[in-house]
Amino acid sequence: MDAKRIRRDFVVLGKEIGGKLPVYLDSACQTLRPRQVTEAISEYYDSYPSCAGRSVHKFATEVSLRCDTVRAKAAEFFGAESPSEIAFTKNTTEGLNTVIFGLGLRKGDEVVATDYEHNSVHVPLVHLANTAGVKYKVARSAPEGTFDLDAFERLMSKKVRLVAICLTSNVTGYTLPAREVVSIAHSYGAEVLFDAAQAAPSMRIDVMKLGVDYLAASAHKMCGPSGLGVFYCKGEKANQLRPLMFGGHGVTDTQPGSFKLMPPPERFETGLQNYSGIVGMGAALDYLSSIGMDEIREHEARLNRRMTKALMGLPGIRILDPGDPNLRAGIFSFNLHGLTAHDVAMILDNSKNIMLRSGMHCCHTYFHARRMDGCARASAYIYNTEQDIDFFTESVTELRDKFGNAR
């Protein structure tokens, strides 16, 4: 994979800030967008700026056809059996909430998740536990930061209706053994929902091969636009889910005292859709597919190995587990003794134009359980080069020597 060639598609990476080019290492929060995506979005506004599924004029027809095409691309990208299994949402959070609140979970039902869930899973489950009496069970990680299959299976029973679980951690980059998790959950009669926000940009996902029932991801982490999510619902499961919202476009007819929902996936797409975002998502899927998801995965791992080799074992620097960089994809989370995570991120930004994320990354329970105030997180992607990584590790080492009270 030629990262130097790829980065030429990302206009912002060629623009100096204060006389220096940016080193963007915050792709786990949001990837940059190539010109192919921004051009597709502009084309929508310049050439056919209308709504799908409403009017019958030429603009509207073009939008409908484009949306159908992108839905088919998304189905192929994620290995779905049919485009009708793909709905467009605002983001991953909406897809996750659609399942968690749409299954009609009630007192006596149990849900299992990990101890490193994003708040988009954790908060809805806490809400259901507090308001509906649903039992929320947490599978604890192994000491080395990996997923403990034995601990997970010990939590399973016939009362577990849903396993709502993070496929790839946005804190550590670790990807759990997905097929084994699905197999164990299904053996107890539970359904499986994958939060794939962090996995979808970096690995090949085939929902049919995995056997997963539901999956949610976001375009903004996949070189696509913000405000657009992808929600997969296995065909026969859609009719048992209550949509998160009701209103325009999601129904075929209404009477004074009744309404009839549209068939899936449209029943999950109530209200005006982000049509420019859908078009942009199609361009992003084409872009990632042209590179190859296996190539992306290996590129991230190669850069992570380079970061780890340079900084592992240095006094004053703590790298979050798992220690093996091959298990962390493109995410390198760390703390520097003597400085807060926000200090690290702000100093590197202001002095070097190195852009990281700092804090608890919407995963507060992970840090509270480990008595940590957060971490700095560098996340590499397709447009990052070895030179980026070397500049980053040299800058962190310099920061440690100057401010970090290394020990």
Residues tagged active-site? 362
Structure-block tokens of residue 48: 């056919």
Q: What's the one-letter identity of residue 258?
A: S
Residues facing 136 on adjacent strands: 111
Longest dimension (CA), the chain: 72
CA distances (Å), origin 286, targets 10, 27, 28, 34, 395 = 15, 19, 20, 11, 35
- DSSP string computed for 75-88: HHHHT-S-GGGEEE
The answer to whether residues 223 and 33 touch, using CB atoms and an 8 Å cutoff, is yes
Q: How long, in residues, is the chain?
A: 407
The answer to whether residues 50 and 65 touch, using CB atoms and an 8 Å cutoff, is no
Structure-block tokens of residue 160: 């577990």
From 237, 208, 99, 243, select the one nearest 164 (Cα to Cα): 99
CA distance 171 to 376: 10
The answer to whether residues 141 and 148 touch, using CB atoms and an 8 Å cutoff, is yes
CA distance 16 to 12: 9
* Torsion sign, CA atoms 319, 321, 325, 329: negative
Structure-block tokens of residue 150: 């034995």
